[in-house]
Amino acid sequence: MIADTDGHRDDRVASLEIQLGKLARINASLMGRVERSTDLRGNAFSVFETAISLEGKVRERTADLERALGELASTNAELAQATDAADSARRRLGDAIETINEGFAIFDADDRLVLCNQTYLSLWPKVADQIVPGVRFDEILGKIGETSGMLGAMVAPDRWISERGAAHEPR
């Protein structure tokens, strides 16, 4: 019977060793899961911290953008006021020039017409529709020389144009 007991014991030990191996594998698997779970939780917390940090940066940038938009709106309002003031001044200047009884014209540094009164246009009725802001003075003279009924322009148009051009030059 001792042999039976020893055989039974050997079988029992072998069975227990097999179960111990299975339990060791299960334990390793469960420990791996726990460790991965801790890592994921750690990573999740790290991602959460990053999200909070990014939210703060987004808030800062949004505040900066709102400030910039406020400044832009303020600048646009100032620009609109300046444009209105310039338009108003231009209208007042035009009204003042129209009250002058003589022909009056203003030319810019490039000798282009900026503004003239109706009296100035009435001096040259055949080309009045061509005398518009932006046209050069020498172009106006050329048009007048070609179409005018003025004696000097009819007899010697080139001379008339050069004399008028010389009289126009700033001294």
Which tokens is 35 given?
Answer: 């460790």
* Range with the largest mean pLDDT of 42-46, 102-106, 163-167: 102-106
**What does the block give as tokens for 146?**
């070609």
Determine which of 25-29, 42-46, 77-81, 147-151 has the lowest per-residue pLDDT on average. Answer: 147-151
- b vs e for 13-50, b when ≥16 Cβ sit within 10 Å of the residue's Cβ? eeeeeeeeeeeeeeeeeeeeeeeeeeeeeeeeeeeeee
Give pTM, 2 decimals: 0.49
Cβ neighbours around 128 below 10 Å, total: 15
Statement: residue 1 has pLDDT above 50:
no
pLDDT tens digits, 92-142: 988 999 998 998 999 999 999 999 999 999 988 888 999 999 999 888 888
Answer with the residue of higher pLDDT: 114 or 152.
114
Cα–Cα distance for residue pair 170/160, rounded to 1 Å? 18
Alpha-carbon distance 168 to 30, whole Å? Answer: 102
The tens digit of pLDDT for each residue in 54-79 reads: 888 888 888 888 998 899 999 999 99
The pLDDT of residue 74 is: 92
Q: Report which DSSP code applies to 125.
A: T
Residue 150: pLDDT over 70:
no
